[in-house]
Amino acid sequence: YFRFVSPDEFFDEHPEYFSEIGGERRREETQLCLTNPDVLEIVTERMLERMRDRPGDRQHNFSQQDYYNYCECPECARMNEEYGTFGGTQFWFVNQLAERTAREFPDKLIGTLAYTYTEAPPYGVEMHPNVAVWLCHMYPSCQSHAIETCPHNATFRDRAVEWSTICSHLYIWHYIVNFAHYYCPYPNFRALAADLRFYRDIGVEGIYLQGMGHSGGGGEFSLLRPYYATQLAWNPDRDADAIMRGFLEDYYGAAAASIHEYITMLHDKVDDEDIHMHLYTNPAQGYLPDELIARAQELFDAAEEAVADDPEMLERVKVARMPITYARLFPRNGYTFEDDALQFQGDIASTEEAAEFAGRMQRHGFKNVREWFGGVEEVMPVAMLVNSAPPYHTIRNETVQADIVPAIGGRALRITERAGGVCVTAYNTAPHLYFPFAGGEETRIGPTFLTHVVGNMDLYETVDASDSELVLETQAGNYAIRRTFALLDGAPGVRITTTATNVSDQPQVATVRSHIALDLGELADTRVRFVTRAGDNVEKDMRSIIANKREGERYADDDAPNGEWIFTGTKDVEVLQRFDEAELDFTWLYAYPESLNVLENEVWSKEVTLAPGESRSFGMEIEARAQ
């Protein structure tokens, strides 16, 4: 969007060109208001200029920015409802754009992404013949099993088939690596071969197989995977295993047989036990138990022995072995609470092994372990954390207890109603996307819908502690953050106050948001109730939130809770969350993937700009009461 209409150029004079959310036009992390007629005029003019300037390009893309925040103005909301997708305005817009540009350039296409909130095809719309739709095989579609047969891919499969019937040019954006963990063992070769045949069979015109994009390379089988995928993209009917064996024999020599057995073992594991991976799969997803890792070590010992007399081949095998060490850097078996500390369980790589891993990255010029915020410098802090026993601090009274872990984002990891001994927060959910930086209550500093934000993965230090209050501090990014946990007087709960101070020499746009992972029993039967700002009563279970997948439901403007909301579930405990309604921007519930049985609850403060040295505080209370 911003290649054509950017906030820097237009927002000051024309805020109406950008997303209206909660009754306000947004400058930061905004999208375009696609029903505004001026936007269509500007984009058409600039797209035509682009086509004239680049006569060799057949396709020109117009797609949303890579986050949510689509426009909710009345006309955009009406159109999206009419078309049955939050992407309705985008597909209407590109149809209009293609109609206009085709008058001068009948041979050029307008490309657009069907991605995150625009994945679903619009009802009752056929795309203009000059529109190319790029459908993305996005999280949490399964990467370990075929699109055509895996139930976790059913939604994507149905959307792909539908898109193939309503557009003349269907393209696919298919992810072939684990973007959260480039080095995590990732058995997706069999599925990839089947998926390329599926795409060909439904009439896909072209495909982008996105691997690791960072300079420097690295990652799990980062040469084998693109070679294998490219060969099959040229001809999906080729013998996929023969392609793999040919590469392994040519590249690893005498070590090929052991490495092929290792790859086969991983694929058999996810096939035989029906384990589903996605493009952000955590090493604790379930297919890397200690006994499989032990067998992998034996196979790589044999591979190294087979090429021990060839230094170049030996180093290639050692690079291929790096993912085994990487998987062991993560607590795949979870943790226990013992001796006032978290005790990570199972086989974990030592700090010496981590140092060897980081050293090999540096010697080869491998720069990243994940797509974002993942340089080699992060390897050792993770290793030191999981090789330690991070202490937790407990505050409690006769009704409630909170266990807070400074080292993993300053989380109130467990909040327990003491009469029944019921913990209301989710924790130790090893398959969670960011485990062990997951669970309990944490506070993030924004604004951003991106996943790694200030506060959620940072190490806090304890500056004051008692049985009833705890004060933590850290400095992250442009902020100094102070977190205070204090038991409530006369109520079974805790007040959590987070203060962010701008320590940079430039103004910073900030949103403080509380994020709580709740576990109140059966997810679908968990209920929320609140009174809206408009005075309406809302009470519902989580089925609609589950059905909305990644998007969940946001409650903004008059639909937002008027200062508090209450959650109940099958654990027979009630959780009340109270916040300053005047400070509230919106609240958000989501529960994805459903298999985690975790209700994610976010309360966002209004956005402010902090001058250098200026602070912003956000407080809220959590009560846990027996029903």
Q: How far apart are CA 114 and CA 524, in angstroms?
A: 28
Average pLDDT over residues 84-101: 97
Q: How far apart are CA 64 and CA 118, in angstroms?
A: 9
Task: Name the β-bridge partners of 78.
Answer: none
Q: At what angle do helices 189-201 and 154-166 cross, to 10 degrees?
A: 30
Mean pLDDT of the residues in the chain: 94
Per-residue pLDDT band for 550 (boundaries 50, 70, 90) equals confident
Letter string b/e over residues 552-565, b meaning 16 or more CB atoms within 10 A of that residue's CB: bbbbbbebbbebeb
Q: Is 573 in contact with 520 (CB distance < 8 Å)?
A: yes
Residue 216, pLDDT score: 83
Average pLDDT over residues 328-356: 96
Q: Which residue has the tokens 């990487």?
A: 326
- Among residues of the chain, what percentage have pLDDT more than 90? 86
Does 511 score more than 90 pLDDT? no
The dihedral through the CA atoms of 250, 251, 257, 259 has a sign that is negative
* Cα-only R_g, the chain: 26
Q: Which of 81-85, 339-343, 430-434, 522-526 has the lowest mean pLDDT?
A: 430-434
Q: At what angle do helices 311-328 and 240-252 cross, to 10 degrees?
A: 120
Question: Which residue, 300, 240, 265, is CA-closest to 187?
Answer: 265
Q: How far apart are CA 288 and CA 286, in angstroms?
A: 6
Average pLDDT over residues 130-147: 94
Does 381 score more than 50 pLDDT? yes
Average pLDDT over residues 209-236: 92
Q: For 574-622, what is each residue's pLDDT tens digit?
A: 999 999 999 998 999 999 888 899 999 999 998 889 999 999 899 999 9
Per-residue pLDDT band for 452 (boundaries 50, 70, 90) equals very low
Residue 330, pLDDT score: 92
Residues 6+ positions from 42 with CB-CB distance below 8 Å? 4, 5
Q: Is 599 in contact with 520 (CB distance < 8 Å)?
A: yes
Q: How far apart are CA 154 and CA 146, in angstroms?
A: 10
Does 10 score more than 90 pLDDT? yes
Task: Determine whether 263 is exposed, middle or buried from the number of CB atoms within 10 Å of its CB (0-12, 13-18, 19+).
Answer: buried
Average pLDDT over residues 260-286: 95
Provide the token pair at 566.
């209450």
Kindly report the number of other CB atoms within 10 A of residue 14's CB atom. Answer: 17
Q: How far apart are CA 428 and CA 19, in angstroms?
A: 38
Does 467 score more than 90 pLDDT? yes
Letter string b/e over residues 122-137, b meaning 16 or more CB atoms within 10 A of that residue's CB: beebebbebbbbbbbb
Q: Which of 324-328, 445-449, 475-479 has the lowest mean pLDDT?
A: 445-449
Residue 447, pLDDT score: 60
Task: Determine whether 339 is exposed, middle or buried from the number of CB atoms within 10 Å of its CB (0-12, 13-18, 19+).
Answer: exposed
Does 254 score more than 90 pLDDT? yes
Q: How far apart are CA 113 and CA 63, in angstroms?
A: 6
Q: How far apart are CA 480 and CA 495, in angstroms?
A: 20
Per-residue pLDDT band for 132 (boundaries 50, 70, 90) equals very high
Q: How far apart are CA 623 and CA 414, in angstroms?
A: 13
Q: Is 106 in contact with 115 (CB distance < 8 Å)?
A: no
Does 476 score more than 70 pLDDT? yes
3-state helix, strand, coil in the chain (%, to 5): 35, 25, 40
Q: For 49-59, what is each residue's pLDDT tens digit?
A: 999 999 999 99
Average pLDDT over residues 422-432: 95
Query: Strands (DSSP E) along 11-76, which ranges?
Result: 20-21, 24-25, 59-61
Task: Name the β-bridge partners of 126.
Answer: none
- Among residues of the chain, what percentage have pLDDT more than 70? 98
Average pLDDT over residues 134-144: 92
